[in-house]
Chains A and B, each alone.
Chain A
Amino acid sequence: MFDNLDFDVIRRSLPYLFLDGMSFTLMLTGLSALGGLIFGTLIALMRLSGYRLLGRVAGLYVDFMRSLPLVLVIFWFYFLVPYIGQWLTGASRPIRVGAFTSSLVTFIMFEAAYFSEIMRAGIQSISKGQPAAASALGLTYSQSMRYIVLPQAFRNMLPVLLTQTIVLFQDTSLVYVLSIPDFLGAASKVAQRDGRLVEMYLFAAAVYFVISCVASYGVRRLQARIAIVR
């Protein structure tokens, strides 16, 4: 059953798969996680701000994004981002946005909804006495958030945030639908050019599997360490 397979095709395409494909995937994952975390924290703060309208807008955004399949969101943003850019900058025609930037915006906006729920839970896990003590010490709201609440919330939620990042790492493979050469896209391009679907897809699956496994093992270790400290 493996007799007419040619696993050498993998060796021949390794530089392309990793230098182009995997670096795109990792860069997209890293920057989206960072952007999603920042943006998600802002959304979480809006929801917990106590301003009715602000909280409502943030809540709607989160519910909206979480109702939609990522594939649809990827299509939406790829076609829409240049118009948003035009609207934001007041330019006369749509802004030229490259494939990477466009995917980055998509994943930041999409993941922000998920990260915000995690950060919200994290902020709510801090006992009320802490911000109260902070304000008794004369810290302003933003100072108390910055120095007291958010660092602890982030720390408590670190394993969950990292797990979500592993999900994000896997989800970036969906840019395949736009023919953007991420790791899976690169593998499929080689697979289709050389007619080596079986070899390339098995290899891609193995790579994703190993990376995700090692990463989630790391997260479990981290979780155990944090649990003891607390």
Chain B
Amino acid sequence: MKHRHIIGCLVAGALCAGPAAAQELTGTLKNIKDTGAITLGYRDSSIPFSYLDDNQKPIGYAMDICYKIVDAVKKELKLDKLEVKLNPVTSSTRIPLLANGTIDLECGSTTNNVERQKQISYTNTHFLTASRYVTKKASKINSIDDLKGKPVVSTAGTTNIKQLTEANAARNLNINIIPAKDHAEAFLMVETDRAVAFVMDDILLASLVAGSKAPGDYVISKDAFSKPEPYGIMLRKDDPAFKKVVDAATAALYTGGEGQKIYDKWFTQKIPPKGLNLNTPISAELKNEFAKPSDSPDPDSYK
């Protein structure tokens, strides 16, 4: 017990708030212990956060973080074996599937905002990104206003499509908004000229462009629909015991320097399946956040 407690404190750092094991298990932790399994929700094409490799196995930056969380949960529950189940989710299904218990953690590229926090919780932020759009250079779109009256695609169920919808109404742009099932499908709509632009978080756009057949044909906008917003791994709301374990695990990961290593692996080195290098060194804001992990939905708190 004493030994455990020390490890717990090391892991949790400043967040360590006493022996959790003494309490009766509740919520997700109890469920995991009872079934001996934890289910991770993964994405098809949120490169490099959570996507399928050549063997159609989900990999990525957020998946790596989730596996670290799984290790911490295993340790917390003193399990010898913890089975990890994987369940595909889309932007549209991830919140209901988390709420209804199909998945326990959503490992992807989900924007953390106040509205969603009413439904679900997030652990510490793992990325910051702003909402922009990608177009073909040939279509000569220079500003959001140039999108007026044109078909524009975004992924159903994202904050981006909501921001686009709101901007469309507020600025009278008369854009024909097409919802797509996932990022890859949305990008293909631009590639095949079904839509002139794809509104999405800039990091995801950058990876889709880099992985496309002709990366030189595309340009990502300067104009943004939002400030850089935080990404978090989602877990169920009103489950403080589970959140404490997950928060402690991610905090330890980020403050201990291992977070930076995982970041570098996915953002500054070649990644499968095509050996792309995204060449996106860690931003000053994210570096600050790694030093002081936070699950705040407020973009301004990351400055």
Interface residues of A (CB under 8 A from B): 16, 20, 78-83, 86, 93-99, 102, 176-181, 186, 188-189, 192-193, 195, 197
Contacts and interface: CB of A to CB of B under 8 A. Distances in A.
Interface stretch (B84-92, B116-124, B140-148): B84-92
Interface string B76-102: 000000000101111001001101111
B100 A189 contact: no
A85 to B, nearest CB: 9
Interface residues of chain A: helix, strand, loop or mixed (majority) = helix
Given A93-B31, A179-B93, A197 B100 contact: no
Given A96-B37, A177-B181, 6 more contacts: A16-B55, A81-B100, A93-B27, A96-B31, A195-B191, A195-B213
B72 interface: no
B188 A195 contact: yes
B44 A96 contact: no
A4 to B, nearest CB: 9
Shortest 8 CB-CB distances between A and B: which pairs? Answer: A192-B184, A94-B101, A82-B100, A179-B88, A79-B96, A82-B101, A179-B90, A94-B100
B45 interface: yes
A192 B44 contact: yes
A195 B97 CA distance: 28
Given A78-B97, A82-B101, A192-B182, A99 B45 contact: no
Contacts, number: 78
Interface string B33-56: 001010100001100000010011
Contact of B45 (A83, A181, A186, A192): A192
A179 B44 contact: yes
Given A82-B102, A193-B273, A16 B56 contact: yes
B52 A193 contact: yes
Interface in B12-69: 27, 31, 35, 37, 39, 44-45, 52, 55-56
B192 A197 contact: yes
B185 interface: yes
B269 interface: no
B145 to A, nearest CB: 30
Nearest to A80: B100
A181 B89 CA distance: 11
A15 to B, nearest CB: 9
A179 B101 CA distance: 18
Contacts of A181: 56, 88
A98 B100 CA distance: 11
B34 to A, nearest CB: 10
B51 to A, nearest CB: 8
26 contacts: A20-B56, A78-B97, A79-B93, A80-B100, A82-B100, A83-B100, A93-B27, A93-B31, A94-B101, A96-B35, A96-B104, A97-B101, A99-B102, A176-B181, A177-B181, A178-B88, A179-B93, A179-B181, A181-B56, A188-B185, A189-B56, A192-B45, A192-B182, A192-B188, A195-B212, A195-B213
